[in-house]
Structure 1
Amino acid sequence: MEKMSRRDLLKMSMVGASALALGSINSNADTIKSNEVKFDEEYDVVIIGTGFAGSMAALQALKRGLKVALIEKMGRAGGNSVINVGNMAVPNNAFQKAEGIKDSKELFIADCLKDGVNLNHVDLLSVIYDRANEAFEYLKSTVGVEFVPKCISASGHSIKRAVQVKVASGSGYIQPMHKMIEANPNAIIKKRTKFDEFVMEGDRVVGIKCRENYKFDSSLASDDLENTGGDVKYIKAKNGVILAAGGFSSDKWFRAQQVPYLKTNIETVSQPGATAGALLAAMDVGANPLLLSWIQLNPYTNPTEKGFGTSAVFTNHCSNDYGLSINPKTGKRFMNEHAGRKIKCDAIFKVMAEGANNDNYPVNICDQAAVDLNNPLYTSKGVESGSIKKFNTLEELAKAYNIPVEPFLKTVSDFNGYVKAEKDPEFGKPLKQADVHGIDVSKPPFYASLSTPKILYCMGGIQINEKAQVISRKTQKPIAGLYAAGEVTGGIQGGGRLGTMSMSDCMVFGMIAGENI
């Protein structure tokens, strides 16, 4: 009988996300056995993915004297981590303490559960709280990552607890991390090398099948991405494999099966290689899938730009933190600009629906004081590209976006009064002067951007425990020799991720995987 493809199996079982997970369950009958192959290379640890999680795992494994190979299917290392904006949630950090901000495990977990709609695995959140500072200090002191010496706000957090790298980009982490990895004689980064399947010895992962000289082609359908050439190699992993391959935001077919309303034409901020192949390979050897249908959108991205663009950081940290979002049809606010991402996305979609072509995009506004305090670098880039507009008066701004002037000016005046009173009676946005939100919209020039949600992050993935071991759905115990960290895992973020929490997840569990394997 001809062996069915993974796509065929998925089609047969596709009656919802849970059915997909169950439909792809199999025994290890079809997996590659170690006695059936000849290994071409051997390392102590093989890591799939070269972003935050994979890089942190590699550094910890190398610190233990292990021989490590990092596998990257793209021609450029770093994945989505390189285009990340560089903000990391670090609860109870030194910058918080210096600013007199009190944090606690209870508050941190409560914030995560609120956006995660109580679907988070609290035991894993507890690990992040306990070890995020350790990861932060290691990045700062050992790796040499340079941070801005203050806390910043992030979407959904009730207090400031995020740190920001000086260059305002994930490259500020990846470059020094990879410099350390590449300088270590026990490490190798193999680019254009596509991971295909695990090699098993009984129920233990002992290596991988991969293809070198692989050429990724994003124009192909997602199920064809595995068939774009390359030279087959088998690599042995004496201690085991760490899966750090990221999410599947760019896998248009697969993500649309989990969430049918996320049509294939909806944009994503992820790089093209964010596909589901590695996740499915883990499920093939018994990994337990969690929450695959929970996919997060970014409420800050601009419809005039491709992907993440240049204005999203401004919209998030300038206009949403210190300013207001306006429905251009009414001139009025329509949401708490500091709410969690899902709440904001839902509110933005309602406003957009008032347009003839679903194009009544919200206008996000702040003043020069907000820009000066938070992110003048990103704002200037957006002004140069045209994704952020700059105006001398609020009346000019209203005219440019066809906003009714009088209701708009009253909305701004009311908002400024709320800031002075430190209370928002309309939407409950935090405005206390002790926090960064205590700035009104009064100092010209004024800035504005448009926003529309784009696919950002996959909360679902394979299940891990506190030691970053992958859990088998068959035995409910760890799969020997298989660890995972970062967006390829599920449960930590629940049904909705707080801003800056992806980096905390990647760094902490990458560190743990590298320590334990």
Structure 2
Amino acid sequence: MSNDKPMLASRRAMLKKTAALAAGGATLMVAGPSRASECKPVTPKFDEIYDIIVVGSGFAGMAAAVQAAEDGAKVLVIDKMPVFGGNSTINGGAMAVAGSHLQEKEGVKDSVALMVEDMLAAGRGMNDKKMLELVCDGTAESAKWLEERGTVWKPFVQHFGGHSVPRILQTRESSGAGIIRPLIKVANKKGVTMYTQTELRGFVKNEDGRIVGVQVQSDYFWPKKRSGSPKMYGARKGVIMATGGFGRDIDFRQIQQPSLTDELDSTNHAGATADALKLMMLEGANPVHLDQIQLGPWSSPDEKGFGTASQFNTIATYQNGLVVDVRTGERFFNELADRKARADAIMTRRDDEGKPVYPVGFTNAKGAAQAQTLAWGLKYDVIKKADTLEELAEIYGMPADKLVAQVERWNEAVRTGEDKEFGRPLMQAFELKEGPWYGVRMWPKVHYCMGGVRVNTHSEVLHLVTNKPITGLYAAGEATGGIHGASRLGACAVAEGVVTGRNAAKHAFASNTVELQLA
């Protein structure tokens, strides 16, 4: 009998050690003490239990949370950062919508099929067409859904680069906050539990291999990995990953694109890393298009991050102005081409030593009338004002005669209805006749990750080997890959996030419910 005691103690110690190791891993599984035939999962017990857990609080996350709550689910939203919203709150708040009431009001003829065609062209045919059709088909209904929950759109439709027709709705604030704040307000009213400073550390599976919860670090102070305390939250119906992209994860993005070094700034918030993506990959999720990383062509080297120039260039320069090479004072690309084409063109502006020669985008007062960041850009000297084209040329060191001639050629193109130089669409174009003029230097920044995990039309994450759903795991928004192919069209992130977030919530809510135990 005495010989059995050390063996029992050893077995207990091994069980405790294995359980402790599992708590830091991706799945709560406790191995047996001796033979493999004795290995079996331990029934997990949770600190809190919900129907659906949403990881991330941007467009996709908040749309998923509100949809799930409205369907009747008990919902938890977690975010590792100290505030909700992620990149979505600093996004420009523009949503591509096929068949909106504003298009109808302005006589713009559009269709889901045309939007799909535009996104396929921008994506160089690499898009997941089924998911693409799902997103485009859901834009009109989702835009109305947002309106009903407090989003206010500007009273006009806009024409962004790469889109065949004007189809862009934008929040009154020119910010994604105009979508996130109303959704958070609705979520609170619907009883959604929301935790900031809660970092995902792994997934929890039951004995059937289904994901039934998450391991987190609560009271976590990003980026201090050792901060906080471990907790486990259960999900009776599913976990929805709405964790965004990895634009600020310099090491990981360089693995995909070695040229995207720390010398290239990003518009993303500091927490846009690949940590959650890696955890999904450890569960067997199929990563697609990770090397397709978009550069925003509207940024300025004269400020950090998204800044004031991005909104100004999107609303004013690209739609109503011109972009020129400072050495020639002449255009060198179609200002309404898709983002990849524009960013690639700008990145070619270099001197003999390969250093950037920053192009200048400009428009006049009429063209900048809707640019809400103009005053801030002027205040911080990112945007410069000139009374005449000659003065603008002097500010940026451009040949004045060439610049004036370029504007005259543009005005002639508007009058004739054809841009013979670069084939730019002229539906909303007007002549640039008089000042004052506003200019800004331009250089792309890392903006969006087209790659992520592969999902099906139920927003279920697919396994790399089996191509079957990883049961209990869903993903939406920028965390997924394949929808945009090689390049995302402007204003399609909001469209994708809201539509796929709601789609994930609907399918997760309709899934089987598993019984879970509190600790």
Q: Same fold (TM over 0.5)?
A: yes
1:210 aligns with 2:210: no
Check the 8 A contact 1:83/1:171 in 2, yes or no. Answer: yes
Equivalence for 2:355: 358
The answer on whether the counterparts of 2:296 and 2:445 sit within 8 Å (CA) in structure 1 is yes
Gap change, CA 1:452 and 1:355, over 3 Å in 2: farther
TM-score normalised by length of structure 2: 0.89
1:92 aligned partner: 99
In the alignment, what sits opposite 1:177? 183
* Partner residue, 2:198: 193
Note if contact 2:333-2:342 (Cα within 8 Å) is conserved in structure 1. Answer: yes
Conserved? CA contact 2:218–2:229, under 8 Å: yes
How many angstroms does 1:283 deviate by? 1.0
Alignment match, 1:132: 139
Please say if residues 161 and 318 of structure 2, whose CA atoms lie closer than 8 Å, have aligned partners that are also in contact.
no
Query: Partners of 1:264 and 1:189 in 2: how far apart?
Result: 33
Summarize the alignment of residues 297-316 of structure 1 with structure 2, pairs less than 5 Å apart. 297-316=295-314
Give unpaired runs (5+ residues) of structure 1.
Answer: 1-28, 218-224
Listed as ranges, the matches of 1:28-107 within 5 Å are 31-33=27-29, 35=42, 37-107=44-114
Q: Structure 1 residues 355 and 333 mapped into 2: Cα distance closer, same or farther (>3 Å)?
A: farther
Q: Distance in 2 between matches of 1:450 and 1:35?
A: 59
Asked if 1:280 is matched to 2:278, the reply is: yes
Question: What pairs with 1:118-517 in structure 2 (closer than 5 Å)?
Answer: 118-141=125-148, 143-185=149-191, 187-201=192-206, 202-217=208-223, 227-351=225-349, 353-354=350-351, 358-372=355-369, 374-375=370-371, 377-431=372-426, 435-436=427-428, 438-517=429-508
Letter in 2 for 1:165: T
Could you list the structure 1 runs, at least 4 aligned residues long, displaced by more than 6 angstroms after superposition.
none
The alpha-carbon deviation at position 356 of structure 1 amounts to 5.2
- Cα distance change of structure 1 residues 30 and 318 upon mapping to structure 2, 3 Å threshold: closer
Distance 1:386 1:228 in 2: 41
Question: C-alpha distance in 1, partners of 2:288/2:227?
Answer: 31
Q: Verify: 1:111 aligned to 2:118, yes or no.
A: yes
Change (3 A) 1:117 1:228: farther
User: How far apart, CA to CA, are the structure 2 residues paired with 1:350 and 1:58?
Assistant: 43
SS at match of 1:77: coil
Structure 1 position 499, deviation (Å): 0.1
Alpha-carbon contact 1:461-1:490 (below 8 Å) kept: yes
Shift of 1:254: 0.4
Instruction: Please identify, of 268-277 and 342-351, the stretch whose mean Cα deviation from structure 2 is larger.
Output: 342-351
- The Cα shift of 1:125 comes to 1.3
Native 8 Å contact 2:26 2:201 kept in 1: no
The superposition leaves residues 219-263 of structure 1 with CA deviations (integer Å, 9 ceiling, x where unpaired) of xxxxxx7x3322011111111100000000011100110101111
Q: What SS does structure 1 have at the residue aligned with 2:46?
A: coil
Q: RMSD of aligned C-alpha atoms?
A: 1.4
C-alpha distance in 2, partners of 1:152/1:332?
25
Residue pair 2:70, 2:190 contacting (<8 A) in 1 also:
no
Return the TM-score normalized by structure 1. 0.89
User: What is the DSSP-based 3-state SS (H/G/I as helix, E as strand, rest coil) of the residue aligned with 1:32?
Assistant: coil
Tell me the residue number matched to 2:514.
none
Distance 1:301 1:399 in 2: 22
Secondary structure of 1:427 counterpart: coil
State the shift of 1:35 in Å: 2.0
Q: Which runs of 5+ in 2 are unaligned?
A: 1-24, 30-40, 509-519
Q: Please say if residues 369 and 439 of structure 1, whose CA atoms lie closer than 8 Å, have aligned partners that are also in contact.
A: no
* Matching residue of 2:33: none
Q: SS of 2:230's equivalent?
A: strand
Superposed CA offset, 1:256-312 (max 9, x none): 101011112311000001000111111111111110000000011010000011011
Three-state SS of the structure 1 residue aligned to 2:373 is helix
Contact between 2:26 and 2:202, CA under 8 Å: does it hold in 1?
no
Q: Output the CA distance in 2 between the equivalents of 1:420 and 1:354.
A: 35
Deviation readout 1:193-234 (Å, 9 max, x if unpaired): 0001111123311001100011112xxxxxxx7x33220111
